[in-house]
């Protein structure tokens, strides 16, 4: 056994890096569905079908617990998976809840009614599918009242990052931030709601200005998994092998991943 980490492509490596840093003793099996990325422009049924296929593959690999590092999968597929598909002896965790708990200053398992929180105006940057799902607003509404969310679907950013075109990615981030600030001129907080955006965190911060608190997921997800495994240690097994699986071409994905992470990574066919 090991813990599975799923993403539509390479972006989830930002989350994996934080998990490996925080939990160096845990073996992780990463699954990147590079052949079908990007998910952010797909419909909900498609995202559900692809995500369940990937999670099944990670279960076959001996992972009883899978982290959906992909926001689009967490937003568009996780609720339905939890309601109808995941067996009792397995767990699938998404990336939205840790983020929203941090934003609303809640501890895990605090199921008290929604209440007023420090932030009032939140800017959400995410893929078109994540924005369309309204999953962020739904999870937030369980925990907080009186928070205004303005969401910006950041078309093109993931493709530019995957293609290694940092100049285009930066220009797109700046224009998406400007578009959002025209609708919400003074957000208190901004959420980078996509695995790829931590790669552009400096550009987001600069465009948003110093008064906006930026919430980025990798560190928050790693802290949440650490906490979860302390409570449910049975979900990390005796496995010792970290593996990187892809539905894409392993050589080309390995090259991209090595550039993306700035360290050598070797992918195998999923």
The dihedral built from the CA positions of residue 157, 161, 166 and 168, taken in this order, carries a sign that is: negative
71 vs 104, beta carbon nearer ligand DGL: 71
**248 contributes a contact to ligand DGL by CB under 6 A:** no
**127 contributes a contact to ligand DGL by CB under 6 A:** yes
- The SS3 of residue 124 is strand
**194 contributes a contact to ligand DGL by CB under 6 A:** yes
**51 contributes a contact to ligand DGL by CB under 6 A:** no
In the block, residue with structure tokens 């992909």: 70
Shortest distance, position 165 Cβ to ligand DGL, whole Å: 15
Indicate which residue of 47, 70, 135, 180 is catalytic.
70
- The SS3 of residue 196 is coil
Contact letters for ligand DGL, residues 62-81 (x by CB under 6 A): --------xxx---------
Sheet holding 91-93, edge to edge: 91-93, 65-68, 3-7, 28-32, 243-246, 268-269
Q: Which of residues 154-173 bind ligand DGL (CB under 6 A)?
A: 158
Which of these segments, 78-86, 100-108, 193-201, 203-211, binds ligand DGL (CB under 6 A)? 193-201
Strands 65-68 and 3-7: parallel
- Length of the chain, in residues: 270
Q: In angstroms, how far is the first alpha carbon of the chain from the final one?
A: 17
- The SS3 of residue 206 is helix
Q: Does 70 qualify as catalytic in the annotation?
A: yes
Indicate which residue of 194, 199, 225, 253 is catalytic.
194
**38 contributes a contact to ligand DGL by CB under 6 A:** yes
Contact set with ligand DGL (CB under 6 A):
7-9, 11, 37-40, 70-72, 127, 130, 158, 194-196
């Amino acid at each position: 056994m090991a813990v599975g980490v799923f993403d539509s492509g390479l972006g989830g490596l930002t989350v994996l890096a934080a998990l490996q840093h925080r939990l160096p003793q845990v073996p992780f099996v990463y699954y990147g569905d590079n052949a079908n990325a990007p998910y952010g422009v797909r419909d909900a049924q498609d995202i559900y079908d692809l995500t369940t296929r990937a999670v099944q593959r990670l279960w076959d690999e001996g992972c009883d617990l899978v982290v959906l590092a992909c926001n689009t999968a967490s937003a568009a597929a996780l609720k339905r998976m939890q309601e109808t598909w995941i067996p009792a002896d397995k767990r699938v965790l998404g990336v939205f809840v840790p983020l929203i708990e941090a934003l609303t200053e809640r501890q895990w398992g605090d199921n008290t009614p929604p209440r007023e929180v420090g932030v009032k105006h939140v800017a959400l940057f995410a893929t078109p599918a994540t924005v369309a799902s309204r999953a962020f607003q739904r999870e937030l509404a369980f925990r907080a009242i009186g928070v205004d969310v303005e969401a910006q679907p950041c078309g093109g950013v993931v493709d530019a990052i995957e293609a290694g075109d940092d100049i285009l990615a930066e220009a797109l981030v700046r224009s998406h931030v400007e578009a959002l600030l025209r609708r919400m001129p003074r957000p208190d907080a901004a959420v980078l709601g996509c695995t790829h955006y931590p790669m552009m965190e400096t550009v987001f911060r600069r465009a948003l200005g110093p008064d906006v608190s930026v919430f980025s997921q990798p560190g928050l997800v790693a802290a949440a998994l650490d906490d979860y495994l302390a409570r449910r240690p049975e979900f990390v097994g005796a496995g010792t092998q970290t593996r990187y699986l892809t539905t894409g071409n392993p050589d080309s994905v390995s090259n991209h991943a090595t550039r993306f992470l700035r360290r050598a990574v070797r992918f195998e066919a999923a």
